[in-house]
Amino acid sequence: MSPIVSVRNLVKTYKTGFQALKGVNLDIAEGEIIALLGPNGAGKTTLISTICGIVHPTSGTVTVGGHDVLTQYRAARTLIGLVPQEITLEPFETPLNTCRLSRGLFGKARDDAHIEKVLRQLSLWDKKDSRIVTLSGGMKRRVLIAKALSHEPRVLFLDEPTAGVDVELRKDMWKVVEDLRASGVTIILTTHYIEEAEAIADRVGMIAKGEILLVQDKAELMAQLGKKQLRIDLLAPLDTLPPDLAGRGLEVTPDGHGLIYTYDTRAERTGITTLLNDLQKAGLHMTDLSTSQSSLEDIFVGLVKENA
């Protein structure tokens, strides 16, 4: 199936000379949730803004639903809903009015039944006629989502939907995203919270300094994360692994004073008990044991360093 969003060699250099995007390639499949993870200033917002038409690319192409975002901007943009990072709403307007405006701007005929559905889904129906200035921060953010959904987009961009939002509200937001996915909307969200990517994304893209470092299935990433390493410190150094212990993924550390055993925490048997028994049988004296796990954060930090 062809991707719903396709980004090719996208470069954006701002007038100041700052290169925010350095040749980004990215394909997004219909119906998935992809999280773009990266530190502040990585280019996440520029990437989203370019796809949505707010920023003009310096070079490269972007298509949405097969339509070029520059030459066929009407067809492309009609498919897109954008929830910006900053809460930008007219304070004296009402959620209902502002949603009607959004729907109209995207070329859809007035349909109050649809807007009612969206506002109800986001628990805003009671507040539909309240002035936005009187709503709480979490509600305002949901109004932004409601605006983006009021024109029935097929692709929804959420730019840091939970930045500056407390833990409980963040969980609410994740629930909203889950519900949206269930309704078939493709979701691209940016975040610098790793837990957020873990919690809701199907795929994770890591972006830093205007480049995409990695795009991977979250399940695969999590499989890497599920791996743990057991380090066994030995009293007497070893040159090579005793033959009895071969063939079970053990490695000798370069200095010979330790053994590294990699295992899957989620496997039925980790093999730790057997290993320790065998070590004893082989007559190896252990001085210490420690385990470590690589987190998404470690992978991320490692990647960023590699590319620095």
Partner 1 sequence: MNTQAIRAIYIYEMKRFFRTLLQSFISPVISTSLYFVVFGAAIGSRIDTVEGVSYGTFIVPGLIMLSVMTQATSNASFAIYFPKFIGTIYELLSAPVNFLEITIGYVGAAATKALFIGTVILATAALFVDLHIEHPLAMVAFLVMTCVSFALLGFIIGIWARNFEQLQLIPLLIITPLVFLGGSFYSVTMLPPIWQAITHFNPVLYLISGFRWSFFGMADVPIGLSLMAIALFTGLCVGAIWLIFRTGWRIRQ
Residue ranges binding partner 1 (CB under 8 A): 14, 52-56, 73-78, 80, 82, 84, 86, 88-92, 97, 100-110, 147
The minimum distance between CB 107 and partner 1, in angstroms, equals 5
C-beta closer to partner 1: residue 155 or 206: 155
Pair 162, 173: CB distance under 8 Å: yes
Tell the smallest beta-carbon distance from residue 72 to partner 1 (Å): 10
Residue among 91 and 256 whose Cβ is closer to partner 1: 91
| Nearer Cβ to partner 1 (56/120) | 56
Residue pair 180/190 in contact (Cβ under 8 Å)? The answer is: no
Place of tokens 């509600």: 139
Q: How far is the CB of 82 from partner 1 (least distance, A)?
A: 5
Least separation in angstroms between CB 291 and partner 1? 48
Q: Do residues 62 and 10 lie in contact, with contact meaning Cβ atoms separated by under 8 Å?
A: yes
Q: Pick between residue 97 and residue 229 the one whose CB is nearest to partner 1.
A: 97
Within 13 Å and on the Cβ side, how many CA atoms surround 177?
30
Residue with tokens 């709503």: 135
Q: Which is nearer to partner 1, 93 or 278 (CB)?
A: 93
- Residue 234 CB, nearest distance to partner 1 (Å)? 60
